[in-house]
Amino acid sequence: MVGGFVLAGGASSRMGQDKSMLKLHGRSLLEIAVEKTREVCGNVAVLCGPDPSRTQGLAEAVMDLHGECGPLGGIEAALAKTTFDWNLFLPVDTPLLPEELLSAWVREACSEGMVASILSIEGKWHPLPLLLHKSALESIQASIAAGRFRLRTALTDAASATAQRLEEAEVSTLLRRVVSSDELAEWFANANTPEEFQCMESGIRPASAASRDKVSQTASYRDNHD
């Protein structure tokens, strides 16, 4: 069994309001993430930053142990609390990630000799969502203490500190089928701005020529932001 955590503690500065409260087809982004995580993991808690009211009563609240650390603050709090060896971290603002992909990933990715697994698209990896072993906690704490909040760097450091692998799980391999660039761009799109959320509401896919660039930009942004 895998621990399930929704990352929902970000400042939402570019959105201008708490994006976890935004409604997509009648459900808040937090509702969507909580339900999806519960289906995949059988359990769920919300990493709510400094504000437990952000859970909207949908799941247990887990507050950051250290503030202003980006996603790493929530991940640290989760690893300090979890009773599971492996833990899934799903960002609240990627509501179009299919449950099919997350379930396949959880089934196949967690193994001995590995500290973390990230999703990879044609060799370019996304630091979130994330599967992380609780043995990474000490290294994550060291990264925070040193002021190194970039998630990609923290994961690489955790692999080195624990002498375990950081696995890249290719999306097409997990699903055992070819997934188009347009479809991937839609799945990994995140709602950081009102314009991006409006595209989600309207069901607008990124233009084909720009899809691969959009996926790469999302991965880069995830390294340092909520």
pLDDT tens track for 11-36: 788 888 889 999 999 999 999 999 99
> Is the separation of the CB atoms in 31 and 57 below 8 Å?
no
To the question of whether residue 203 is assigned a binding role by annotation, the answer is no
To the question of whether residue 145 is assigned a binding role by annotation, the answer is no
What average pLDDT does this structure show over 206-221? 47
* Domains defined along the chain, listed by start: 3-222 (3.90.550.10)
- Indicate if the pLDDT at residue 224 is higher than 80: no
What is the C-alpha separation between 221 and 204, in angstroms, rounded? 21
pLDDT band (50, 70, 90) for residue 116: very high
| Token pair belonging to 206 | 């990124």
pLDDT tens digits along 37-91: 999 999 999 999 999 998 989 999 999 999 999 999 999 999 999 999 999 999 9
To the question of whether residue 64 is assigned a binding role by annotation, the answer is yes
What average pLDDT does this structure show over 180-209? 82
To the question of whether residue 9 is assigned a binding role by annotation, the answer is yes
Q: Kindly report the backbone phi and psi dihedral angles of residue 110, in degrees, each rounded to the nearest multiple of 5, phi listed first.
A: -75, 120
- Indicate if the pLDDT at residue 217 is higher than 80: no
What average pLDDT does this structure show over 124-142? 96
| Token pair belonging to 175 | 């699903």
> Is the separation of the CB atoms in 144 and 73 below 8 Å?
yes
